[in-house]
Amino acid sequence: MGALQRTETAGTGAAMLTVDLGAVVANWRALAARAAPAECAAVVKADAYGLGAAEVAPALARAGCRTFFVALTGEGVALRRLLGGGPEIFILHGPAPGEEPMFAAHALVPVLNCAAQAHAWAAYAAELPAAVQVDTGMARLGLPPAEAAGLPHLHVTLVLSHLACADDPADPANAAQLAAFRALRQLWPDARASLAASFGIFLGPEYHFDLVRPGAALYGIVPTAGPHPIRGVLRLRAPVIQTRRVPAGAGIGYGQTWRAPGPTRLATLGIGYADGLPRSLSNRGGAWLGERRLPIVGRISMDSVIVDASAVPQAVLAPGTPLDLIGPMAGVDAVAEAAGTVGYELLTRLGGRFARRYLDG
């Protein structure tokens, strides 16, 4: 496996984020195979969920992905410059007032979410392709049924909606939204239809329609409790910057929220909440040296975290030794669960101070 390396921080003591582009591509191919004959797009909003759209999107395009989704117009402009004129790029938030010329200039397809957006787009360029999002029960973005039926004439090439409870296959909201979507898509019988994102792909073929649009699953977030083909794509490692011994009863970190139960060897790592490591992992999370878990003790600081290294021989934990915060022993979902959040938030919070390395399988 080759390595593409992009360094985003100066100095040699920075934490290292490694992204396996080969695994991202493998996940996309596995999802595409599961959803076939539906097309499999890729959601690369929020800088590819924090992992770097400048590297992720071209890798997916080289693998054959022809349709991409981002949230914001600026993201779409940057992606068009990156990918060139071939792929189709949808903007999930649609155009803000006055942005319509940017869509035309960069061949971006707006996702129209309300009547005001639809009328503004129709007045600007009704003949240009547009997508329409309908609200089937999430009450976030999209046209409610009463408004959907009264839109002006548009060149609608895609009608889409979003599932609110796809992470729970037994939730009756999934079937209710599916029925609502089937009815609403008939307003645009010639348009392609898309309902399923990552979790929805695993609800079954009836949710696939013409196009699925995975995001989280591309980046290693597991979208089902059952068997799955999803591979982990990232490894976050931070170096030991200091070790020390403390006596029994010593208070550790801000607020001294953890006290040594006996003589304890500690290691301080060069990573903290300024890098996106959730502060909620204080006294709950861990770091890994190979298969050995070193518990996080005390509160996570802005630039550092302390672990109990008593179980590791001092000779193998010198300053500079890298420990895994996310990796083979604890993936994104496991770390997010320990932090009391979801993998989506954990990924998108990862900061820009890391040195980054991209593996191109």
| Tokens coding 131 | 């997508």
Q: Where are the alpha helices (DSSP H) in 126-228?
A: 145-148, 172-184, 198-201
CB contact set of 66 (below 8 Å; sequence gap of 6+): 39, 41, 86, 87, 88
Euclidean distance between CA atoms 311 and 332, whole angstroms: 24
Of 225, 190, 195, the closest CA to residue 212 belongs to: 195
Q: Which helix (H) or strand (E) holds 102?
A: helix 100-105
45 has catalytic annotation: yes
Nearest to 361 by CA among 32, 24, 16: 24
At residue 266, the 3 state secondary structure works out as: strand
CA atoms of 212 and 95, how far apart (whole Å): 22
Q: Which residues contact 190 (CB under 8 A, 6 or more apart)?
A: 156
The DSSP result for 281-309, as a single string, is GTTT-EEEETTEEEEB-S---SS-EEEE-
What is the secondary structure of 130-149 as a DSSP string? EEEEB-SS--SSSB-HHHHT
| Spatial separation of the C-alpha atoms in residues 339 and 131, rounded to whole Å | 37
- Residue 148 one-letter amino acid: A
| 327 DSSP 8-state letter | B
**Cβ pair 21, 56 in contact under 8 A:** yes
| C-alpha to C-alpha distance for 277 and 18, rounded to whole angstroms | 15
User: Which residues, other chains included, contact 183 with Cβ-Cβ below 8 Å and sequence gap of 6+?
Assistant: 145
Residue 358 annotated among the catalytic residues of the structure: no
Q: Which of 45, 207, 273, 344 is catalytic?
A: 45
Q: Which is catalytic among the residues 49, 124, 254, 273? A: 254
CA atoms within 13 A on the CB side of 207: 25
The catalytic site residues sit at 45, 254
